[in-house]
Structure 1
């Protein structure tokens, strides 16, 4: 069967996106091909061309970017037994990763090649549009929380034991924060999270035990008080200006003084330069590294399939569908740059 593929190409740095034909790439060992039905957009997908030299200096052009995929498996490669053609799935596409760096693995096309252990079956009750909000956000949150070079927390499971420790999620209403709260709760930790007050109910619906206004001048004191005598297992710092406050909190609480920052590495180094003097360790998350260690399969193969099917884990935040077709992805990126809160922008295909 001959399949005709189409992609949203980025011809070169600084160029505009172009819709055009793309080769159909069959899966190699431990790979699957997914017919994409929905994609979500992220800031890294639409960075200005000159910034690619800093964020993704290895990227080969013409490129197909994008990370968030939901669709149907159409073909599996040798070694794939957990997935089969026809399965409805979500998956993290790694076309822009340095180790992969090929257009066939970029999300913004009709047929994408994915790593088998970074694909998760989804229940019939979950739409492709809503499923597409998960991959990069859950990967980034899981990388920061569970990799040993970051917070090194206990992995989530179906029936976690309650732990006497707290996880702080600064930026709880973001895509990464929405998933971090749920992952921490499914690992048995109590969660304190920040957001604007109008998102407090949303954070509680995800499992946060305590919510604090991130813009409050007394936010640091409020969080320290909410944590109380419980050890702080670790902090996920999301968003600009999060590090200075989370470092101050970590320095004033008992337990592990580790912060995983979802800000770009350069910003993290600059903002976190005072952390060592306060006994706090800050690390910078790159949301693709879990594909190369035990955390990737622990989330996508062992935890998420059952958690999504039973409703113990929610595809969050809510999807807002911007349009249908690859040509609408640049529109979604423009809307993303204008700012969104407690939602993720999606294009169906």
Structure 2
């Protein structure tokens, strides 16, 4: 094979640099993909903005990237459900603790991924469209179905089950929110969500039965009224600042669990450089204070509020249920739509840093995707 190329981040806070990288070797249960498209995520921007905070185990230089779609060029031992030449979408988890932040991270021409976190793509779905799914889908699944989160029942996922219970998703137009709506509906739950008015029709197409504008100061009360006497199975708080209205909804409806996909502050509100600064000190003081107050207020009312870690599904039964049993069939049938809409932010690995910078400035109801040209193979 030709030499591999990657978008490296050599030190905390640094811009990515494009240069050669070792060719990954798929281990047991893994696939080697020739990457055709990648998507950037808030996680990439947060790691770059926070330095060693949160992901302190990373040993630089590393490669960022979680969302990939491409073609299988090699399979590891024990892989039977995939073959060379298969088109797949996959969740690259190299940035997680105990993983290889070089071979298993997505922003490169070739990447090793776990077969258990990959799904075959139908020919009708382009690589660029599929690349929006992995981290958002996995985070949504973790929040909805992991036992230490909302713990919803996924045993009838995709079998047109119908339940009376309601799931509230605050932030439905986000990448995680849009996938959570689809997964909750596929498991049979009713869904009520929030989004800007311009995205209401889209939320209904994804399966939400009620949509409210989160800009409206009465949105939480409107949701409570819409729920009426129905049982609330859980509340998923996705967007920054969503925990407070979700706690109000949980209190009013006797819901006992809130799963949070976003911190109470934006990590983009700090300079991307080493050392202390007034902005960074204020940010982390605000984070600590708001998190502590939220936990105190929720526990006092018998509500469990917990933060979601999307990669939790990699070592739990939820992973195979989503990536193996549900997603391939749902993509083939069209019952699960790649969401959010892919916006091609550039072609080739050099476009990644600009895409991350654009993400920091704000993106609504779409995901920034980088298309990669097919890499030549040596004979």
1:202-259 deviations in Å (ceiling 9; x for gaps): 10010000001111111121001111111000011011221111011111114x4100
Task: Assess, with a 3 A threshold, how the Cα gap between structure 1 residues 271 and 240 changes in structure 2: closer, same or farther.
Answer: farther
Question: Where does residue 343 of structure 2 map in the other structure?
Answer: 320
Question: C-alpha displacement at 1:101, in angstroms?
Answer: 3.7
After the TM superposition, which residues 190-229 of structure 1 pair with which residues of structure 2 at under 5 Å, given as runs?
A: 190-229=190-229
Question: Where does residue 50 of structure 2 map in the other structure?
Answer: 51
After the TM superposition, which residues 1-349 of structure 1 pair with which residues of structure 2 at under 5 Å, given as runs?
A: 2-47=1-46, 49=48, 51-155=50-154, 157-254=157-254, 256-264=255-263, 269-270=291-292, 272-273=294-295, 274-349=297-372
1:5-53 deviations in Å (ceiling 9; x for gaps): 1000111112221100011122111011011100000112123656131
Question: C-alpha displacement at 1:310, in angstroms?
Answer: 0.4
1:255-304 deviations in Å (ceiling 9; x for gaps): x4100000249667335221111221101101111101111111011100
Question: C-alpha displacement at 1:134, in angstroms?
Answer: 0.2
Task: Assess, with a 3 A threshold, how the Cα gap between structure 1 residues 49 and 26 changes in structure 2: closer, same or farther.
Answer: closer
| Native 8 Å contact 2:13 2:50 kept in 1 | no
- The list of structure 1 runs, each at least 4 consecutive aligned residues, that deviate by more than 4 angstroms after superposition, is 265-268
| Native 8 Å contact 1:60 1:101 kept in 2 | no
Partner Cα separation in structure 2 for residue 336 and residue 195 of structure 1: 19
Q: Secondary structure at the match of 1:251?
A: helix
| Native 8 Å contact 1:59 1:101 kept in 2 | no
Partner Cα separation in structure 2 for residue 299 and residue 79 of structure 1: 20
Task: Assess, with a 3 A threshold, how the Cα gap between structure 1 residues 298 and 271 changes in structure 2: closer, same or farther.
Answer: farther
Partner Cα separation in structure 2 for residue 63 and residue 89 of structure 1: 24
Question: C-alpha displacement at 1:99, in angstroms?
Answer: 2.1
Question: C-alpha displacement at 1:323, in angstroms?
Answer: 0.8
RMSD (CA atoms)? 1.4
Partner Cα separation in structure 2 for residue 118 and residue 283 of structure 1: 24
Partner Cα separation in structure 1 for residue 13 and residue 241 of structure 2: 28
| Native 8 Å contact 1:243 1:271 kept in 2 | no
Question: Where does residue 375 of structure 2 map in the other structure?
Answer: none
TM-score calculated relative to the size of structure 2? 0.89
Question: C-alpha displacement at 1:102, in angstroms?
Answer: 2.6
Task: Assess, with a 3 A threshold, how the Cα gap between structure 1 residues 19 and 311 changes in structure 2: closer, same or farther.
Answer: same
Higher relative contact order (CA 8 A, sep 6+): 2
Partner Cα separation in structure 1 for residue 293 and residue 175 of structure 2: 22
Question: May I ask how many residue pairs the two structures share in their alignment?
Answer: 347
Partner Cα separation in structure 1 for residue 53 and residue 158 of structure 2: 40
Q: Secondary structure at the match of 1:291?
A: helix
Partner Cα separation in structure 2 for residue 270 and residue 348 of structure 1: 42
Question: Where does residue 281 of structure 2 map in the other structure?
Answer: none
